[in-house]
Amino acid sequence: MTESLIWVNEDGINPEHKMFRDYPDAPRVYIFDVSYLQQWRISHHRLQFIYESLLEIPHISIYKGETVAVLDSLLQEYNVREVITTATPNHIITGWQDEILKQADLVTYPQIYPVQDSSSPRRFARYWRQSDRFWLTP
């Protein structure tokens, strides 16, 4: 029985991502959010690039609509209570994630950076002085 749903977002379209190996039987979905596309006047080229990238993910189902409403419907359709996704700082996507959390558990795979310190020093030169050795070490 399927217990989870993988929700791919536009900042994490990687067919080799660990989440696909960890949840091999989970349905994989992507939603083109019409309100977002219209509000931010996203170009055809960006949408096509995303679409082409998605098609490398086996068995992906792609939807058009309002992200949260579509996910709600899919949670019911698949009868699952857990959504698997990837982290992004994108405030629009994190807003959707917050909404989903009201309906389901959310497992978010973090982005990987060589430096774990999460405070920003506000100037890159300062940041680089503090962290270059981490970035330059394999």
Partner 1 sequence: MQQLKTDFTSREDMAAYIQQEFPFLESPGGLSPYLGGRKAGLARLEEFKIEQYGKERNFLNGEVSRLSPYISRGCLELEEVRQWALQHPLSKSVESFVSELAWRGFFHLVYQEEGTGILADLEPPKVSLGKHQITLPEDIARGETGLPSMDTLIGMLRETGYLHNHARMYLASYVVHFRKVSWRSGADWMYALLIDGDFASNHLSWQWVASTFSNKPYIFNRENLERYGGAVLPGDPRQGDPFDASYEALAERLFGGEYRPEPRRSSGNYQ
Which residues lie near partner 1 (CB under 8 A)? 10-17, 32, 34, 37-38, 40-53, 55-56, 60-65, 69-70, 73, 86, 89-91, 111-115, 118-120, 122-125, 127-128, 131-132, 135-138
Residue number with CB closer to partner 1 (64 or 81): 64
First to last CA, the chain: 41
Give the span between the Cα atoms of 26 and 24, in whole angstroms.
6
Cβ closer to partner 1: 24 or 138?
138
d(CA 108, CA 41): 28
Q: How far is the CB of 137 from partner 1 (least distance, A)?
A: 8
If the CB atoms of residues 24 and 38 are measured against partner 1, the closer one turns out to be 38
* Alpha carbon 72 to its chain's center: 16
Tell me 55's DSSP state. T
